[in-house]
Structure 1
């Protein structure tokens, strides 16, 4: 018998968090427990100003999950690092709490993970919308392939499954890339020779996540420059 730690960081998600957590428990946690697998769910609420925190506290009473509640906003990277440090399972499943990928897609990752004996499996979003976000993702991953020999299709996707020892190591060491935090983990995993797989999952576009193209272009340029700087930095040490 082994244990899976299910982690998520959420922020300003009062509209979707009930549906997502209930789906997680009914379609992922409950079936895993039926298979005799131990499960812990840890969710970090990162200083939301809407009702996300209050909703999570009600859900905790219903499901018994662990909550990490900060007094102020830490930012995504610090929240994720804190989550990984608290995980106690042999496997770590991290899912984005934004609803763009449903928790049930865990099974797609889990199936590939077991069949391929991977150290990590990362989701890539199929039929991604809007179209310009799909194109930006393709360009970003082409850059990662050229600069760092990363072979998976969406290294910056947050929806992923790790062997816990490896996931903790990669997250702990990833300190340099603000716009490519998830990609930095995969860059390091590639460098260390870990076996990495990927699998396509259904994408559900959220209106609140549809940034204006001009803002997106600025972010992409910053992310690209960050990767170039990282390439010539002593990150390999």
Structure 2
């Protein structure tokens, strides 16, 4: 159920070159959230796409009065999330990967945990999690989480970069003021800062499948350097 008069949940879909998967994601999201009987809105934030993502997003929004579309000239995950939060009307704000890498069957649990925590995130690395990805990516991701984020930045969360989250709107707006990166590392920054500021963070296991058609990984520029910058900011 969605309504313009009240809104319990805002769902941000950051979309960069997602012309092939955006409509499927929106349809699956609507189907899943409708079963929860809550008021909600969907905000598609198209950011700097070089394909037809923005055009497709506009076409989709014409069919639903609870879907809005934002166009940003420059690509950047953090900027997309920040703009989505500013426009969000809901008490809670979720953001989901458009490629549906996290199984939407976990949405009910994501929403349920949000009643008791400020920040809820899916996890690919808990005992009951299931993550299907290449060995090299799995190794690098676990090394990134355990060595850089858990050891260096003192995060207690095992998976600091899963794109399946719900955050209280007021909490998210505050945390985003401290996010400095715009390389994709901001997804990590916000969860590290949330813990440093004493907000309650819940991590729960999900089934996750890597999108093999869109594997891009710039370890040094997108993760290592931003992690070291965040460490410096938090400790000096």
TM range (shorter): 0.7 to 0.9
Aligned to 2:40: 39
- 5 Å matches for 1:106-145? 106-114=107-115, 117-125=116-124, 126-142=130-146, 143-145=148-150
Q: 1:176 to 1:52 in 2, by over 3 A?
A: closer
Aligned to 1:204: 209
- Alpha-carbon distance in structure 2 between the residues aligned to 1:156 and 1:118: 18
Q: 1:230 to 1:200 in 2, by over 3 A?
A: same
Count of residue correspondences: 223
- Alpha-carbon distance in structure 2 between the residues aligned to 1:92 and 1:86: 10
CA contact (8 A) 1:121 1:197 kept: yes
What are the Cα deviations for residues 37-96 of structure 1, in whole angstroms up to 9, with x where unaligned?
2211111111322222222222112222011123x2342221221111111211111111
CA-CA distance at 1:236 after TM superposition: 6.3
- Alpha-carbon distance in structure 1 between the residues aligned to 2:50 and 2:9: 30
- Alpha-carbon distance in structure 2 between the residues aligned to 1:18 and 1:102: 16
Gaps of 5+ in 1: none
Deviates further, 197-206 or 84-93: 197-206
TM-score normalised over the length of structure 1? 0.85
CA contact (8 A) 1:23 1:104 kept: no
CA-CA distance at 1:231 after TM superposition: 1.4
Aligned to 1:181: 186
Q: Does 1:226 align with 2:226?
A: yes
Give the secondary-structure state (helix, strand or coil) at the position aligned to 1:203.
Answer: strand
Q: 1:12 to 1:177 in 2, by over 3 A?
A: closer
Aligned to 1:157: 162
What are the Cα deviations for residues 108-132 of structure 1, in whole angstroms up to 9, with x where unaligned?
3123333xx1111111232230122
Aligned to 2:127: none
